[in-house]
Amino acid sequence: MWPLTQLAVLGSLCSLYFLALLGAVAARAGGTPTLKAALRVMFWGALAMAITSGIGRVFGVVA
């Protein structure tokens, strides 16, 4: 059994990995540079997760 903190980190890392993968796939389908697109999608996804987490902490939400 994994502690909840480790599960949260693992879930975030898996989400970022798949965001990067989908960004790369979309870039390849569109004929644009894959690394740049993957990093861009991953960055904005990480920012969205951080903002969501911060708002949850402000309102005392525990998930």
Q: Using an 8 Å Cβ cutoff, are 10 and 25 in contact? A: no
37 contacts 23 by C-beta, under 8 angstroms = yes
Q: pLDDT tens digits for the chain (63 residues)?
A: 778 778 888 999 999 999 999 999 999 999 999 999 999 999 999 999 999 989 999 999 876
pTM across the whole model: 0.81
Q: Amino acid identity, residue 34?
A: T
